[in-house]
A = this chain, B = another copy of it.
Amino acid sequence: MFIEISEVGPRDGLQSVKSIMPIEAKKAWITAEAAAGVPEIEVGSFVPPKLLPQLADTAEVVAHARTIEGLTVAVLVPNLKGAENAVKAGVHKLSIPFSVSETHSLKNVRRTHDQMLDEVRAIAALMRTLPAESRPKFEGGLSTAFGCTLEGPIPEDKVVALAEALMEAGCDEVGLSDTTGYGNPAQVKRLVRNVRRAVGEDKMTGIHLHNTRGLGIANALAALEEGITTLDASLGGLGGCPFAPGASGNIVTEDLVFMLDAMGLETGIDLDALLAVRDIVIDALPDEEMFGFTPDAGLPKGYPGGYIRQVA
């Protein structure tokens, strides 16, 4: 069984740190992580540089990432303008964050749900003008799907209804995001199951989890058990959301890949090579805290020989 890791550190990680990573370090990071076998990297966002100066160089980062053979180059776009820039840059995949909490949506992108759905329709229309062979995949990411730091609990029916609305508005696929790190494994299973039932299993294959309350990896396990095959993660757990206070920390790519690898699931990733990529980020962002337990503890003695038998 192949599980696809989508590294979101260069986007979700870098947007949440104060320092601006030099473009050469970004390129080295992406190159090294792709070389370690990571199949997809979210390399930046096409947002106004005034809002996120850390990601102002996204077009140039995309241009570099596209030269790496076999790598799926993904970006985040908040609106049609961002999607146009993403298409111009030649990305393979673009995601629009759609906050299930309308309060968070207004804070984050200053748009209501109706306005966001208009934006999604406009992007879908743009996609249809492109030849099929160069058309990027267009995903709607349901953020704050597990609860919102502003609104509190989010009704699960609302998540399902908005997933359907995103598909109707023209997304190729939807994803669930635990922007705030509120999710728990039972909730992950329910939401994944219900959204997949509503939109079709092949239209909901990915999930974006945070480790804010220490449950990120357990939530990933729950998602896997419901059939999810693409997991977002961030090297060193860098990341969060600047507009959701207290919501920091993506799940740690290194720990997640160790889990998948040890379970006998295929990721195509060389764990030792992945662990070595940390040095690039640490050198470029010496003041940022890097999370992760596997990097400190190291791999088990004699790993992997004899540990991995079969998936339960």
Contact = CB atoms under 8 A, between A and B. Distances in A.
Nearest to A212: B297
A150 B302 CA distance: 10
Contacts of A189: 312
Given A252-B214, A255-B213, A306 B152 contact: yes
Q: Looking at chain A's contact residues, is the secondary structure mostly helix, strand, loop, or mixed?
A: loop
Contacts of A131: none
B246 A213 contact: no
A284 interface: no
Interface stretch (A62-70, A83-91, A218-226): A218-226
Contact of A258 (B148, B153, B215): B215
Interface stretch (A11-19, A35-43, A178-186): A178-186
Interface string A161-196: 000000000000000000011101111011001000
A294 B182 CA distance: 10
Contact of A184 (B151, B187, B259): B259
Interface string A141-160: 00000011111110110000
A264 interface: yes
B153 A185 contact: no
A249 interface: yes
Contact of A221 (B221, B246, B311): B221
A193 B312 contact: yes
Given A153-B302, A186-B264, A181 B255 contact: no
B252 A301 contact: no
A84 B252 CA distance: 46
A214 B264 contact: no
B222 A305 contact: no
Contacts of A217: 214-215, 217-218
A276 interface: no
Contacts of A58: none
Nearest to A311: B186
Contacts of A303: 152
A227 interface: no
Contact of A301 (B147, B155, B212): B147
A301 B152 contact: yes
B214 A152 contact: no
A308 to B, nearest CB: 8
Interface of A: 147-153, 155-156, 180-182, 184-187, 189-190, 193, 211-215, 217-218, 220-222, 246, 249, 252, 255, 258-259, 262-264, 292-294, 297-298, 300-303, 305-307, 309-312
